[in-house]
Amino acid sequence: MLLSLVLHTYSMRYVLPAAVMMGTAPTYVLAWGAWRLLSAVLPARFYREVDDRLYTIYQSMVLFFFENYTGVQVIIYGDLPKNKENVIYLSNHQCTVDWIIADMLAIRQNALGHVRYVLKDGLKWLPLYGWYFSQHGGVYVKRSAKFNEKEMREKLRTQMKAETPMYLVIFPEGTRYNPEIPKVIADSQSFAEKEGLAILKHVLTPRVKATHVAIDTMKDYLDAVYDVTVAYEGTVDHKGQRKLAPSMTEFLCKECPRVHIFIDRIELKDIPEEQMYMRRWLHERFEVKDKLLIEFYDAKDSKRRNKFPGKSVHSKLSLKKTLPSLLFLGGLTASMLLTESGRKLYVKTWIYGTLIGCLWVSIKP
């Protein structure tokens, strides 16, 4: 019975946040959908401005749970500008929490509403979220030979034409680094060796296509590229071997005490334009990441482990930036569910919103 109580208490750590975040999704989609219809006759930039504000509200609520609720310590190294910029955000990829890390940095620059993702194509089928990410300016891409460069360029040009603020998040590895799937790591290393590239230990060999298309298309629109390296503390087993990074569920269960984020701001003039040379440049950036992560996980001196070299700042997110969004969306959702007509509308939004979304993304990327 004691074990059952412990397990129940543990599960409740993530059940409440998950219920609130998913439970408010129909409310959010209804508010966004109403604005989408109202703004149909207005210039695109007006839609984008309000859409970014709505997105800020929802993601601020998400960050309430991932930062304030969990109590995770966010340790930032390097140069994170205080002012918002049009940027491409390149990061190593190891778990779904990596998406949230981009939000953590963006909110500290007052640019949370500007975050848009380059996502693998299969995620467009997520109920409600998949369709909305595309409407918010996200780009779905297929891997390798199925990658559609023309579609991605057109989507980005549409965003620039609408003067959309850009905080475009790309994970160039194309898939997550997972120590529990050594074949993926081995195949990545074999490919690097075959291509005459440095073999990487704690990251996968990056793919250049999406990065090149994004930088090449928006080179006159961007202010910089952020090269971001993320490490989650507590991801080493008793033998000193790296283990799987926390899932969103584990993160919400407070299994990660600290997350370390190293930011290197890179000027566009320092990035080669030709894809062949950009590929080499991108791999060199991942070599830098690999060295940082080797220091973090494998430093011979134990005092140098679990941190990146250089000065760091413990950045705490104020409740003023997150709690109002939680109360607003939570209150709006609760008021809907208190009436029979509201409950019917809520359920219909889940059902028809998902169906319409799936139909839309199957017709229009």
Mean pLDDT, rounded, for 52-70: 97
CB of 304 closer than 8 Å to CB of 295: yes
Burial class from Cβ neighbours inside 10 Å (0-12, 13-18, 19+) for residue 7 reads exposed
pLDDT in tens, 229-285: 999 998 988 777 899 999 999 999 989 999 999 999 999 999 999 999 999 999 999
pLDDT in tens, 122-178: 888 988 898 899 899 999 998 776 788 999 999 999 999 989 999 999 999 999 999
CB of 175 closer than 8 Å to CB of 184: yes
What is the C-alpha to C-alpha distance for residues 12 and 75, in angstroms, rounded to an integer?
27
**pLDDT at res. 304:** 83
Residue 334 CB partners (closer than 8 Å, separation 6+): none
Ordered by start, the domain boundaries in the chain are 1-364
